[in-house]
Amino acid sequence: MGVWMLAFLVLSWIFLHRWNQRNHKGPKTWPLIGAALEQLVNYDRMHDWLVGYLSESKTVVVPMPFTTYTYIADPANVEHVLKTNFSNYPKGEVYHSYMEVLLGDGIFNVDGELWRKQRKTASFEFASKNLRDFSTVVFREYSLKLSDILTQASFHKQEVDMQELLMRMTLDSICKVGFGVEIGTLAPNLPENHFACAFDTANVIVTLRFIDPLWKIKKFLNVGSEALLSQSIKIIDDFTYSVIRRRKSEIEETQRNCYTGSIKHDILSRFIELGEDPDRNATEKSLRDIVLNFVIAGRDTTATTLSWAIYLIMTHSNVAEKLYSELKSFEEDRAREEKVSLVTYETGNIEAFSQRTAQFAELLTYDSLGRLYYLHAVVTETLRLYPAVPQDPKGILEDDILPDGTKVKAGGMVTYVPYSMGRMEYNWGPDAASFKPERWLSDGFFQNASPFKFTAFQAGPRICLGKDSAYLQMKMALAILCRFYEFSLVAGHPVKYRMMTILSMANGLKLTVSPRPS
């Protein structure tokens, strides 16, 4: 009798809970587990799952077993969280605990004074003309290395995984610009890179922690995904510490020889030199955290955005032709300005084709790229629909009320959702779901939108320091690729995102490549 009574009480409790939720705008919730069941079922398509709810309500509350997530897509709410009441919405202890194994106490995973010190130093470096000029040279160099690989693939009718190639290009680039080292993953033979594989694995697993209530138990027992995470972190740390020690050794040797001419101006060197100040107490662990934060900022985000951009360009022929026309006209105009005689080539002449590609690349400078407004619009429109960071959670320090009247409680999480925001008609109009670079142009010139509406680079005090650098690399690469190649998706290849902190493609981007005529 007691068992039946207990069962009746439990069922009654569940019924009353569901009855009270009948007018709730959001996912189905259950006692104790909240919306965890529905979220788990939709995990592989979570971003589109959120689009469905946020299209009906600008704010969606999702209770979970140990916290409550409030998802927001209204620019007014986003501005409140990212700027107006910034101090009340830090990364928070929950987010830090999930990501600490990978990002440690780096700039993307900390708050307060530690964050301010790192941001101040990084801000100084990104504003440096030396770094900007060096970045331009490096981005051009690695874009041409990628071009050489594509040229060989096109002439030999080989398929390529463009996302993998772009990941290699951006990893090589960030290690050269950020840390002053060559790692050579974009070599013609495409050597296997254990660091890159381990970094991807770790990224996927720490993302899964956000909906896996058992991750701490698995970590304690060192089983399942957490055991794989430990193995991946070991590979990541071995690589990262070797980079740090190599740079330290180079700096010490330079200082011993009293030769200032060879001092590098990369970001890691700057932090190493600042770490010599006893008050800063920089350790190899803190430098490791800085390195990994800049790797995830400079590698994954740029490569995934370029992957989505190429996919969108090749599936929208009108955009591809407009972009090609802009690049061809740009090439002719710049060649006249520089008094350059452009190499002509037949599509079967690899040597002449490569010479012409290199000529074009030399015409791409920081200033001249700024004249390519349609290219800038294509990149920006890609980021609107496929933001590199599709959602970004913040902690809540104190109870607050958002501008739309939603009450949020201390200890919960507020997440603004760039992926959903770019698809909301109440933000972008009835054609919000369409890929339309022209929406960013007025009389042929690029027009910005509010960073609280276009949130791909965040906004407020934490707005992305590397925004200009990211645009520089993406435009450099796309200008070369879209001027000299046409891409076609391999028949039957599925294109969808993978659930991780960065919006990468789950199956890569398998393409065939054809050279464009002179």
Secondary structure element (H or E) that encloses residue 383, with its range: helix 373-385
> Which pLDDT score, from 0 to 100, does residue 31 have?
62
**By three-state DSSP, how is residue 57 classified?**
coil
Give pLDDT tens digits for 447-456.
999 999 999 9
* Range in 4-18, 51-65, 248-262 with the lowest mean pLDDT: 4-18
Give pLDDT tens digits for 75-86.
999 999 999 999
How many structural domains comprise the chain? 1
Tokens representing 167 are 């990941």
Secondary structure element (H or E) that encloses residue 280, with its range: none
464 among annotated binding-site residues: yes
> Which pLDDT score, from 0 to 100, does residue 18 have?
44
**By three-state DSSP, how is residue 213 classified?**
coil
The pLDDT confidence band at residue 52, using thresholds 50, 70 and 90, is: very high
The pLDDT confidence band at residue 93, using thresholds 50, 70 and 90, is: confident
> Which pLDDT score, from 0 to 100, does residue 17 have?
46
Characterize the bridge pairing of strands 413-416 and 400-401.
unpaired
Q: Is residue 6 part of a domain?
A: no
Indicate if the pLDDT at residue 169 is higher than 60.
yes
User: Which has the higher per-residue pLDDT, 452 or 286?
Assistant: 452
Q: Is residue 424 part of a domain?
A: yes
> Which pLDDT score, from 0 to 100, does residue 305 have?
98
> Which pLDDT score, from 0 to 100, does residue 260 have?
56
Phi/psi for 57 (5° steps) reads -150, 130
Q: Is residue 247 part of a domain?
A: yes
User: Which has the higher per-residue pLDDT, 253 or 173?
Assistant: 173
Indicate if the pLDDT at residue 493 is higher than 90.
yes
Indicate if the pLDDT at residue 111 is higher than 50.
yes
Contacts of 45 (CB under 8 A, 6+ apart): none
Give pLDDT tens digits for 381-400.
999 999 999 999 999 999 99
Q: Is residue 2 part of a domain?
A: no
Indicate if the pLDDT at residue 461 is higher than 80.
yes
The pLDDT confidence band at residue 425, using thresholds 50, 70 and 90, is: very high
Give pLDDT tens digits for 299-349.
889 999 999 999 999 999 999 999 999 999 999 999 999 999 999 998 789
> Which pLDDT score, from 0 to 100, does residue 280 have?
60
Q: Is residue 9 part of a domain?
A: no
Q: Which long-range contacts (CB under 8 A, 24 or more apart) does 333-340 make?
A: 334/363, 334/368, 335/359, 335/363, 338/363
CATH of the domain at 40: 1.10.630.10
Q: Is residue 7 part of a domain?
A: no
Characterize the bridge pairing of strands 413-416 and 68-72.
parallel
Q: What is the mean pLDDT of the chain?
A: 88
Name the residue range of residue 318's domain: 24-515
* Closest C-alpha among 237, 211, 239 to residue 225: 211
Phi/psi for 491 (5° steps) reads -55, 130
> Which pLDDT score, from 0 to 100, does residue 30 have?
58
Which bin fits 28, alpha (ψ -120 to 50), beta or left (φ > 0)? Answer: beta
Indicate if the pLDDT at residue 278 is higher than 80.
no
User: Which has the higher per-residue pLDDT, 13 or 316?
Assistant: 316
* Range in 13-22, 157-166, 295-304 with the lowest mean pLDDT: 13-22
Tokens representing 9 are 């009480």
Note the pTM of the prediction, 2 decimals. Answer: 0.88
Q: Is residue 5 part of a domain?
A: no
Instruction: Say if CB 508 and CB 161 are below 8 A apart.
Output: yes
The pLDDT confidence band at residue 291, using thresholds 50, 70 and 90, is: confident
Indicate if the pLDDT at residue 490 is higher than 90.
yes
Query: Taking residues 255-272, what's their average pLDDT?
Result: 71
Give pLDDT tens digits for 230-243.
999 999 999 889 88
